[in-house]
């Protein structure tokens, strides 16, 4: 939902103001700012939509046009100048495909090494899948972590992070790539923090998958802060960013990659480069590329993660692997059929305060303070793959505050409650019996479960699931909140194979492709089939740093 107003004076559009919206802030802010600039410049609502946000921006344009017409206002539009399609030739030392976290870090690293860098992004905004994530990342081996954690930082090491990653993914990771990630994340964090003036702090949540405190995040807790500041620093220091620029074909000379051809809104752009960094993201939104195991799991990533590289890179004969790996989390609200929003921070806070996970039969299903993979699997074992988080009013207040901080609005949440459990996402409240009835849960069994759990909390011992005593808090009061939880994924964990020395992409014969490097989600393997929290950002930043460094060495 987007509420906005249009200011008109003397038949001129003076301003377009957003009153409130429930869209993803990182995408909305960029897309709306660009749309507004075009509206004011052309004095018209008949302007181009923003790539990657077409539905949203078209809805704004259509509703604004209808409102003006309803009020009988005639806008004095500026003469429309038809922009001819042209062909533009550009050159760079390093060209980066993809404007998410990994691509931006790679571009910044190459720029810092004195290279001329061009970054192209198919959407009308930057951020890729990163824009939907928190900013939490590991700071292992960094000066940043030494500042934040002090003496505790010495407990951590690249090898310890490697061991944690390997353990949590059941040793499905590709060790050489994991070492590249864990050995480089410290210097990568120090580099990008200084380059873009990023002020990391200790993450609000230190998840149990990590054996020591090493998770850090930006003050806003949002990756939008990272994207915005890094892009601004890149442009200010001489880097070139081309939005609405979709790569369609490759440029080659005697079989060797020399650049690519991209289509913009009004131009065909030939980018010739000494080296190319591919950071085009994953393919989670491309149902044709997804395996059957993902079909019943909600997707919460960007609908623009369509795996374009697997088409325009086809002639390079790149080696791909494990394309049926997905990072599945247990914390999600299904806000549209098949589409989820994450509640990770809020759900973790709730379980820290004593909330419990139950199924439709009203029975607890897991140790709520275990690692994410454990209760993700517990949810997936339910016949309908749905669980419910049951909490008291004091816990709800903290849960609600974190929902608001991370991508939900007050109006949106109230709208879910107004549905009274009639459809997903289910958010209900009331007495335990009433809340259970609205959520479709066996009320008698839930009452028995809560009574039993409260006894465990009082005794500080959980004989059913062995939950840590520090998280055994009884549910207080007469008002209960029951929140639906579904498994959901945004990122793909398989992808192209890269060499662990320099992120050079390999062909199907496992040979490095000259002048071509990969970074981020498009390269799979470092985190195995199931990454720990914070590790997708860790991989994006570390691999981008290495790819940017390596691409800058090509003569």
DSSP 462-484: -TTT---GGG--PPPSS-EEEEE
Q: Centre a 10 Å sphere on the Cβ of residue 48 and count the other Cβ atoms it contains.
A: 17
d(CA 312, CA 328) in angstroms, rounded, equals: 28
> What local confidence, expressed as pLDDT, does residue 15 receive?
79
**Contacting residues for 329 by C-beta, under 8 A, at least 6 apart:** 342, 344, 372, 376, 487, 488, 489
Strand partners, 271: 90, 260
For tokens 């609600």, name the residue.
400
> Coil, strand or helix: which one is 384?
coil
Q: Centre a 10 Å sphere on the Cβ of residue 509 and count the other Cβ atoms it contains.
A: 7
Strand partners, 4: 18
> What local confidence, expressed as pLDDT, does residue 363 receive?
97
d(CA 50, CA 288) in angstroms, rounded, equals: 25
List the structure tokens of 47.
């302007």
Angle at 212 between CA 139 and CA 183, to 5 degrees: 40
> What local confidence, expressed as pLDDT, does residue 541 receive?
98
> What local confidence, expressed as pLDDT, does residue 271 receive?
98
How far is the CA of 145 from the CAs of 76, 203, 276, 475, 535, in angstroms?
56, 11, 31, 37, 16
List the structure tokens of 265.
């809104």
Which residues does the chain have with pLDDT short of 50? none
d(CA 539, CA 528) in angstroms, rounded, equals: 12
Give the tens place of pLDDT for each residue, 483-498: 999 877 878 999 999 9
d(CA 34, CA 57) in angstroms, rounded, equals: 10
d(CA 424, CA 224) in angstroms, rounded, equals: 27
> What local confidence, expressed as pLDDT, does residue 295 receive?
67
Prediction pTM value: 0.81
φ/ψ of 298, rounded to 5, equals -60, 145
**Contacting residues for 71 by C-beta, under 8 A, at least 6 apart:** none
Cα 474 to the chain's mean position, in Å?
A: 34
> Coil, strand or helix: which one is 4?
strand
> Coil, strand or helix: which one is 59?
helix
**Contacting residues for 249 by C-beta, under 8 A, at least 6 apart:** 260, 261, 312
Give the tens place of pLDDT for each residue, 71-128: 677 777 776 667 789 999 999 999 999 999 999 999 999 999 999 999 999 999 999 8
Strands 215-217 and 137-138: antiparallel
């Amino acid at each position: 939902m987007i509420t906005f107003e249009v200011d008109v004076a003397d038949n001129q559009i003076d301003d377009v103001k957003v009153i409130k919206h429930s869209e993803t802030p990182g995408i909305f802010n960029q897309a709306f700012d660009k749309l507004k600039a075009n509206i004011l410049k052309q004095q018209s609502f008949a302007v181009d939509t923003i790539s990657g946000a077409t539905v949203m921006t078209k809805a704004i344009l259509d509703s604004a046009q209808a409102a003006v017409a309803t009020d009988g206002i005639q806008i004095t539009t500026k003469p429309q100048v038809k922009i001819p399609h042209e062909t533009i030739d550009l050159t760079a030392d390093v060209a980066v495909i993809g404007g998410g976290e990994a691509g931006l870090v790679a571009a910044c690293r190459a720029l810092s090494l004195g290279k001329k860098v061009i970054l192209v992004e198919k959407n009308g905004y930057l951020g890729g899948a990163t824009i939907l994530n928190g900013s939490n990342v590991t700071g292992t081996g960094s000066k940043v972590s030494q500042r934040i954690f002090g003496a505790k930082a010495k407990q951590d090491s690249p090898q310890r992070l490697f061991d944690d990653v390997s353990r949590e993914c059941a040793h499905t990771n590709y060790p050489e790539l994991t070492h590249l990630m864990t050995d480089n994340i410290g210097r990568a964090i120090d580099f990008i923090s200084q380059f873009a003036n990023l002020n990391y702090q200790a993450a609000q949540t230190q998840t149990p998958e990590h054996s020591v405190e090493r998770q850090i995040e930006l003050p806003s807790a949002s990756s939008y802060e990272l994207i915005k500041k890094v892009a601004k620093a890149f442009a200010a220091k001489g880097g070139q960013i081309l939005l609405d620029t979709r790569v369609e074909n490759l440029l080659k000379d005697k079989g060797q990659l020399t650049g690519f051809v991209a289509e913009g809104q009004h131009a065909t752009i030939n980018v010739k480069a000494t080296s190319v960094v591919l950071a085009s993201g994953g393919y989670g939104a491309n149902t044709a590329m997804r395996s059957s195991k993902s079909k019943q799991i909600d997707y919460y990533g960007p609908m623009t993660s369509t795996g374009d590289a697997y088409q325009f890179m086809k002639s390079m004969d790149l080696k791909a692997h494990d394309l049926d790996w997905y990072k599945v989390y247990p914390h999600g609200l299904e806000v549209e059929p098949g589409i989820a929003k994450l509640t990770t921070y809020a759900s973790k806070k709730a379980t820290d305060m004593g909330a419990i996970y139950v199924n439709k039969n009203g029975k607890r299903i897991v140790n709520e303070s275990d690692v994410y993979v454990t209760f993700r699997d517990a949810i997936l074992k339910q016949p309908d793959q749905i669980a419910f988080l049951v909490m008291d009013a004091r816990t709800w207040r903290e849960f609600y505050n974190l929902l608001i901080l991370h991508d939900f609005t007050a109006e949106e949440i109230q709208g879910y409650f107004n549905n009274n459990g009639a459809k997903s996402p289910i958010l209900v409240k009331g007495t335990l019996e009433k809340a259970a009835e609205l959520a479709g849960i066996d009320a008698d069994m839930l009452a028995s479960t809560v009574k039993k759990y409260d006894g465990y909390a009082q005794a500080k011992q959980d004989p059913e699931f062995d939950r840590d005593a520090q998280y055994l808090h009884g549910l207080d009061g007469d008002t209960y909140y029951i929140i639906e939880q579904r498994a959901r994924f945004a990122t793909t964990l398989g992808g192209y194979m890269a060499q662990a020395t320099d992120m050079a992409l390999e062909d199907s014969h496992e040979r490095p492709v000259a002048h071509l490097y990969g970074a981020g989600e498009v390269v799979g393997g470092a985190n195995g089939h199931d990454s720990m929290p914070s590790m997708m950002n860790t991989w994006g930043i570390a691999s981008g740093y290495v790819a940017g460094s390596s691409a800058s060495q090509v003569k």
